[in-house]
Amino acid sequence: EMPLISVKNLKKYFNMSQSKEMIRAVDGISFDIYEGETFGLVGESGCGKSTTGKLILRLLNPTDGEVLLNGDNILKYNRKKFRKLRKDLQIVFQNSSSVLDPKMFAYDILVEPLILHKIVPRYELNEEVDRLLDMVGLPKSSKRKLPNEFSGGQKQRLIIARALATRPKFIICDEPVSSLDVSIQSQILNLLVKFQNEYSLTYLFIAHSLNVVRHISNRVGVMYLGKIVEIGSNKEIFKSPTHPYTKALISAFPNLEEKKFNEEKLILKGEVPSPINIPTGCSFHTRCPYSYGKCKKEEPELMEITKGHYVSCFLIEKNL
């Protein structure tokens, strides 16, 4: 089966303006996303998750790598060709004040993509806006409201309605619920699941919250300092995490119902190192309780340990 999206050796390095130093925000990652699934991307903040999302949608120019959509490298498309495609690929950002123009009425926020991508004829715009608001559970009267007149949850519904306006196939959800109360979080997640089923959507779901990712993802990629250290099914990642970093994340995760799976408690020491000064070898070696000689010098590759379960850690070779 061909993946819908295939990310190959994607890199994004930022030059620091004041020095010759380089930030390796995304450092050669590869993963596939299959049609109809939710691929979760987790890791502590600053590990490159959001940058990855932006690179896939060309909101940032990659330093290297490919993003294939149905086998076609969309990073090679010219502007015009990409703009056409853009209606199929959407992004839902965290509900923050910068996402919605505070001076635009909800009506205009929703009408903008409809006009830009010629989704419906002009005389149907009003009806289509009503339909979109209804889909996300907002009253028609919301049309005449400004973003700051909505609650956090309502704002996120509006952002989702705007993403759905172009009838996309693929949506990147970047921390879509992280600024919301837990009760509102589940409403929004349920809404995303409902739309996924109704419109056969494919999601890349980016979040630092393991709880949220576990709730919504079919497969999960774990990122650390710009690299993917483990990829597996929801069950593999949450019930038999294999990379020491994944194990540590899961151990720190206060999930009481499944304590028995977390027998091997692994506590993460210290902070994530700065992406300007990424440790040599396995970049996790400064925090890894299992680190040994080789780890400081050589970099482990992502290896498939069982079908579809990938891990980058030298311990895997040791155990084979």
Nearest distance in Å: CB 135, ligand SF4: 44
For Mg ion, give the closer residue by CB, 50 or 90: 50
For ligand SF4, the binding residues in 243-262 under the rule CB under 6 A are 244
207 in contact with ligand SF4 (CB under 6 A): no
- Closer residue to ligand SF4 in complex, CB, 36/281: 281
| Token pair listed for 13 | 């390095």
Name the token pair of 42.
């987790």
Measured in residues, the chain has a length of 320
The residue (of 50 and 154) whose beta carbon lies closer to Mg ion is 50
Residues 6+ apart with CB under 8 A from 295: 281, 282, 285, 288, 314
What is the per-residue burial (b if ≥16 Cβ within 10 Å, else e) of 51-64? bbbbbbbbebebbe
Q: Per rule CB under 5 A, is residue 52 in the interface with Mg ion?
A: no
Of the pair 139, 289, the CB lying nearest ligand SF4 is at 289
Pairing mode of beta strands 170-174, 202-206: parallel
* Residue number with CB closer to ligand SF4 (113 or 221): 221
Residue 90 neighbours by CB under 8 Å, 6+ apart: 163, 164, 166, 168, 170, 171, 172
Q: Judged by CB under 5 A, which stretch of 34-42, 45-53, 249-257, 305-313 contacts Mg ion?
A: 45-53
Q: Which is nearer to ligand SF4, 46 or 244 (CB)?
A: 244
288 binds ligand SF4 (CB under 6 A): yes
Shortest Å distance, C-beta 278 to ligand SF4: 13
Q: Which of residues 291-310 bind ligand SF4 (CB under 6 A)?
A: 291, 295, 300
Site size toward Mg ion, by CB under 5 A: 1
Q: Which of the stretches 48-56, 224-232, 279-287, 309-317 binds Mg ion when contact is defined by CB under 5 A?
A: 48-56
Question: Minimum distance from CB of 221 to Mg ion (Å)?
Answer: 14
| Contact call for residues 244 and 264 (beta carbons, < 8 A) | no
- Choose which of 6, 38, 50, 217 interacts with Mg ion (CB under 5 A): 50
Nearer to ligand SF4, 193 or 278 (CB): 278
Q: Which does 291 bind (CB under 5 to 8 A by kind): Mg ion, ligand SF4, none?
A: ligand SF4
How far is residue 225 from each of residues 26, 27, 57, 80, 96, measured CA to CA in Å? 8, 8, 21, 34, 25
Q: Give residue number: closest CB to Mg ion.
A: 50
The distance of closest approach from Cβ of residue 315 to ligand SF4 in the complex, given in angstroms and rounded to an integer, is 5
Please state at what angle helix 125-135 crosses helix 152-164, rounded to 10 degrees.
130
Residue 90 vs 286, nearer CB to ligand SF4: 286
Residue 290 near ligand SF4 by CB under 6 A: yes
Q: Which two tokens stand for residue 150?
A: 């909505």
Q: Tell which one of 285, 302, 309, 310 touches ligand SF4 (CB under 6 A).
A: 285
Query: Contact positions toward Mg ion, by CB under 5 A?
Result: 50
Contacts to ligand SF4 by CB under 6 A: 244, 282, 284-285, 288, 290-291, 295, 300, 313-315
